[in-house]
Amino acid sequence: MNKIAALTTTFLIAGLLAVLLLFWHGQPAKQMIFMLGVTIACGFAAFKVPFWGFFLYYFFAVLRPQNLWEWALPGGIRWSLFASLIALGGVALHYNKIFKNGQVTGMFRLMVMFAILIFISIVLAYDPMVAQRWGIDYAKIFVIAILMLFIVNEVWQVRALATMIGLSIGYIAWEINYLYFFQNGRLDILNYGYGGYDNNGAALLIAMGMPFAYYIGVCKWERFPKLSLVFGGCIGTLMLHAVMMSYSRGAMVASLVGIVWVILRHRSKAQSAIIIAILVVITSVLAGNQIRDRIVSTANYQQDASAQSRFEAWGAAWKIAWDHPFFGQGVRNSNLFSLNYGADRAGRTIHNQYLQIAADSGIPAMIVFIMMIVMSLHNLGMTRNRCIRHIKYDLSSDSSKNKLDHIEKICLATQGSLIIFAIDSMFLSLELFELPWLLFILAGVIGIITSPVINASAVENMNAIKSMSKNPVRVPPRKKRHLQKKSKRTDKTDPIILPGYLSTE
């Protein structure tokens, strides 16, 4: 039965791609070839491992190729729809295994609770048509995110997602910088935004990628570690400059806090000092007078008309939320009433993620959303601390420590990215922004995925201790240790001898 379903899904994907080609006129562009190749590869891989269908969906959600390569791809094609069909097809083929082995986590409960509150607010909305249009997009986010909490169950999958985020946003930043440096100073991110977002939303997307550039740069990769360090630094610099070119003050402030958080919690303090020095030099070079004035202008918010209009919108949202505390006015219905409650104009968006949710869907929905952010930061911090303890003190193999090092860096990068989102969300209303939902997923499953790796490290540590107690290695006196180094002998703490002690037989 599974083979029949797999064959049917294969022909379905092939048929859909054939239809795409029928509507595509002109010479094959490398962008179209890339999109077809990625879709087909992940489509077939999803038959075996459902994760790849969800990977493809979030890859398209982060990269937004229909906007990035609008000039090269045929219009009207919904790439995310194909990715979601592939993801759901993979779930249908493996649903028994997925839901049998999956675990119900706290993040799952919060997501379901938030989805229920959003659904109720749509049903009770003042203008159901407006609420339903937004509700359809909400439903897509909820279905994919909730299912993915059961799909992601391996360390390599988390590493693949973290790397995908860093590389995808790094490429977006490269395109933005290329237009500026090689196309007569084009500031498309400022004038047009990116991916359907304005300059503020585009800046938030790119800013959230900077901690993952850190992950790519400093993590212990098995191959080309120095090259990855240089590469991570380069894409991080491109992201930083792209955020500056957006002139988004909220993104700049949030980026500063997120970057400082990551650097101060980096385990090597000497490396942290070097990174800070490099960032200071890069920022001073890239930030022109206009960008500096834009950053400084945040202190003059009392005379800033834009800031004052946001304060008025926030006040209006708070009043709406208290008038309709349980389920709000309905998803995106608060904009219809913002002028009546003190906003500067009709249809004013709240420009605050938390107050927007409170006014649209009620104060309980806002609390649940904040709880998802807090739980994510807590889970990531707890998992990171566990990894650090075992990296420092376990006599485990290099393979185990390498896995723990990757998880620790992913936790820190995800924390930094969520902090950037949490701060910048105070100045933006982006309910349908999918990257934070991917971060919620990573935070929700990271602890469960890490436990087997930590348990394996603990077992290796116990085996090493037992072996050393049975076969003690004499450590020479301090004055003779220089002779030991010359003779290349090892003491009992030297990692060179550990593989011999780590046998589990």
Percent of the chain with pLDDT over 70: 84
Higher pLDDT, residue 374 or 33: 374
Residue 292: band (very low, low, confident or very high) from pLDDT cuts 50, 70, 90: low
In whole angstroms, what is the distance from residue 225 CA to residue 151 CA? 30
According to DSSP, the residues that pair with 194 across neighbouring strands are: 197
Count CB neighbours of 336 within 10 A.
16
- pLDDT average, residue stretch 377-406: 86
| Weakest-pLDDT range from 87-91, 331-335, 367-371, 476-480 | 476-480
In whole angstroms, what is the distance from residue 91 CA to residue 85 CA? 10
168 pLDDT higher than 90: yes
In whole angstroms, what is the distance from residue 428 CA to residue 198 CA? 10
Higher pLDDT, residue 374 or 248: 374
Residue 505: band (very low, low, confident or very high) from pLDDT cuts 50, 70, 90: very low
13: which 2 tokens?
């994907």
According to DSSP, the residues that pair with 197 across neighbouring strands are: 194
In whole angstroms, what is the distance from residue 137 CA to residue 59 CA? 17
Residue 476: band (very low, low, confident or very high) from pLDDT cuts 50, 70, 90: low
CA dist list (Å): 361 to 10, 315, 337, 345, 438: 41, 16, 14, 22, 22
- Mean predicted lDDT score pLDDT of the chain: 84
pLDDT of residue 283: 78
pLDDT of residue 298: 62
In whole angstroms, what is the distance from residue 51 CA to residue 371 CA? 26
Q: Are 352 and 146 in contact (CB under 8 A)?
A: no
The most confident of the ranges 225-229, 267-271, 347-351, 358-362 is: 358-362
Among 334, 399, 335, which residue's Cα sits nearest to residue 363?
334
pLDDT of residue 504: 42
pLDDT, tens digit, for every residue of 106-139? 999 999 999 999 999 999 999 999 999 999 999 9
Higher pLDDT, residue 24 or 46: 46
In 324-362, alpha helices (H): 353-361
- Provide φ and ψ at 288, rounded to 5°: -80, 180
pLDDT of residue 321: 93
In whole angstroms, what is the distance from residue 21 CA to residue 25 CA? 8
Among 51, 76, 108, 87, which residue's Cα sits nearest to residue 441?
108
Q: Are 58 and 438 in contact (CB under 8 A)?
A: yes
First-to-last alpha carbon distance for the chain, in angstroms, is 41
pLDDT of residue 33: 84
In whole angstroms, what is the distance from residue 80 CA to residue 84 CA? 6
In whole angstroms, what is the distance from residue 377 CA to residue 382 CA? 9
365 pLDDT higher than 90: yes
In 105-248, alpha helices (H): 106-123, 128-151, 155-182, 188-191, 199-207, 210-218, 225-246
- Provide φ and ψ at 366, rounded to 5°: -60, -40
| Weakest-pLDDT range from 63-67, 202-206, 222-226, 256-260 | 222-226
- Provide φ and ψ at 138, rounded to 5°: -60, -45
pLDDT, tens digit, for every residue of 247-273? 888 899 999 999 999 999 887 777 788
Among 417, 391, 419, 406, which residue's Cα sits nearest to residue 446?
406
470 pLDDT higher than 80: no
Q: Are 50 and 90 in contact (CB under 8 A)?
A: yes
pLDDT of residue 490: 46
H/E stretch holding 486 reads helix 481-486
157 pLDDT higher than 90: yes
Q: In residues, how long is the chain?
A: 505
pLDDT of residue 140: 93
